Amino acid sequence: MDKISIIVPVYNVEQYLEQCIDSIINQTYKNIEVLLIDDGSTDNSGKICERYGEKYSYIKVIHQVNAGLCAARNTGLDNAIGKYICFIDSDDYIEKEYVEKLYNEVKLYDLDIAYCNFRLFEDNKELGKKEKKYLVTPKEINGLQYQVLRFENDDWDCQVWVGMYKKEFLLKNNLSFYKKDRLLYEDILFTNKSLLKAEKVKFVSYYGYNYRNRWQDSLCRQKPNEWTIKSYYNIMNEFIDLYNNSVRKDEKSIIGQTLYKVLTGLLESIYYCDETNKSKYYKMVSNTKIKKILRKNIKSKKDLMKCIIFNINLKLYYEIFGLKQRIIS
């Protein structure tokens, strides 16, 4: 049995942390190591980690000065000794066969990545789940084929915590989390970069991960601010560089479509941000090299129309987008 490393970044989650760790230690697959990365918690989270570390020899606790989610996960990657890697967020929990089911798939098909479904919940009440039948394939496919299936079905889920990754694959392709700055939406970069490199990917039709709905607490759900804009902008520039450095037409197409999704998030964030800074953000977006990339790679007629309007006049784009939001509300 191969060892599997489970990386859990921890920051001020004392009321949820025990449920998360208990769900990991109760896995049916037993050859695991658990890396609890305490990212400078100011509540009792660090003490809870220590208590579990003292009780279970396979739990390793690492305390670090607060540096953000990317840095915490990278610390986990640097210290992981398992052949395969899972990421679990410390306010969520997993079903008892989660590790075993994903491991069986990666071994059977010699996968770089195995993904599964997740359930959204709040206070132990299920809020929703999505059956992704379009991702279920009879055999493994490569990451670009997987991306095509996602985009054809308007699937923009980029969560890193619903997968198992072969460590050798991550090391070979120098895949880690963003290191240049603190970043929101960090999964967008890691997941999409990983899929660009993956030769063997498979989706398991199994609801093994339970994602806690904390919309009011989540930094990603708060009113857009400078950090939100900067994060999207940094991610966008990363994909522009990937596009310019790619020589494969099929890869460029996927990166271009990914870029459109990131741009949409950036434009929506700018639309809802403080009026004082809007002109600065308008200029920032208008000065990117993104327009040419979008014209070449957008497949959807609806998305293509939005791109055409964006290319013609950014203010017109916002007028149409704003009208749509007012109608919806």
What is the per-residue pLDDT for 224? 61
Burial of 277 (0-12, 13-18, 19+ CB in 10 A): middle
How far apart are the C-alpha atoms of 315 and 227, rounded to whole Å?
23
Count of C-beta atoms within a 10 Å radius of residue 144: 19
More confident residue, 221 or 9: 9
Instruction: Name the percent of the chain lying above pLDDT 70.
Output: 93
Contacts of 33 (CB under 8 A, 6+ apart): 3, 4, 5, 6, 58, 59, 60, 80, 81, 82
Residues belonging to the chain = 329
Q: What is the largest CA-CA distance in the chain?
A: 62
pLDDT band at 222 (very low <50, low <70, confident <90, very high): low
Per-residue pLDDT for 236 more than 70?
yes
| Whole-number pLDDT of residue 219 | 45
Arithmetic mean of pLDDT, 283-299: 75
Q: Which residue has the higher pLDDT, 199 or 315?
A: 199
Give the architecture-level CATH label for domain 4-212. Answer: Alpha-Beta Complex (3.90)
State pLDDT tens for residues 3-49. 999 999 999 999 999 999 999 999 999 999 999 999 999 999 999 99
Least-confidence region, from 190-204, 214-228, 230-244: 214-228
Residue 290, pLDDT > 90, answer: no
Question: For residue 300, how far is the Cα from the chain centroid?
Answer: 23
Residues 258, 151: Cα–Cα separation, whole Å: 9
Q: What are the residues facing 300 on neighbouring strands? A: none
- pLDDT bracket for residue 327 (50, 70, 90): very low
Domain ranges in the chain are 4-212, 223-328
Given a cut of 60, whether residue 198 has pLDDT beyond it is yes
CA dist 97 → 28, 209, 229, 312 (Å): 6, 10, 39, 52
Provide the residue type at 7 as one letter: I
The predicted structure's pLDDT at residue 323: 55
The residues facing 87 across adjacent strands are 7
